[in-house]
Amino acid sequence: MSELTHINERGEAHMVDVGEKDRSHRVAVAEGRIRMAAATLEALVAGDLKKGDALATARIAGIMAAKRTADVVPLCHPLALSHVEVTLTPEPEAGAVHCSVRAETRERTGVEMEALNAVQAALLTVYDMCKALDRGMTIDGVGLVYKAGGRSGEWRRE
């Protein structure tokens, strides 16, 4: 159990004490996709959705989600984010919208959860705004692709 930092010596969940760690510049990039029918993607790209501009709304939802991650993930530390960028790219050949989020902070703990939470919220917002046309959409491939900073240094998905 010693490798699981959110589990104490009694096997109980707890919030990790990061008070003695040095602040450092930390970056995380996460990604995912929402797959949909071609007609749904066409309507989304053309801006023909009754709910409005889904991509603009999803960008805002992703930023808001990054800022509120500690309210959603119980053992996550609240962080002062210095930057969050949400990029949504339609992929007509794949019948999907790709979401990439870069989150940054200068804190004592990493920003991976914020990037991952932002991807999920952005893609869920696309689903919400397109569901009248396509309830069969699926979200997949959500994962961390890069992180830098802190004791563990740099990591990149192969």
The DSSP code sequence of 30-45 is EEEEEE--HHHHHHHH
What pTM did the predictor assign? Answer: 0.89
Is 128 catalytic? The answer is yes
Question: 98 vs 31, 39, 75, 111, CA distance in Å?
Answer: 7, 17, 28, 20
The better pLDDT of the pair 21, 131 is held by 131
pLDDT of amino acid 22? 76
Per-residue pLDDT reduced to its tens digit, 107-147: 988 899 999 999 999 999 999 999 999 999 999 999 999 99
| Domains located in the chain, CATH noted | 24-156 (3.30.70.640)
What phi, psi does 95 have (nearest 5°)?
A: 60, 45
Task: Provide the strand spans (E) within the chain.
Answer: 24-35, 81-91, 96-107, 138-148, 155-156
Per-residue pLDDT reduced to its tens digit, 82-101: 999 999 999 999 999 999 99
pLDDT, average across residues 63-70:
97
pLDDT of amino acid 1? 37
Task: Give me the catalytic one of 22, 128, 134, 140.
Answer: 128
CA distance 123 to 114: 14
Residue 60 reports pLDDT greater than 80: yes
111 contacts 25 by C-beta, under 8 angstroms: no
Q: Which range is least confidently modeled, 7-16, 41-50, 117-126, 128-137?
A: 7-16
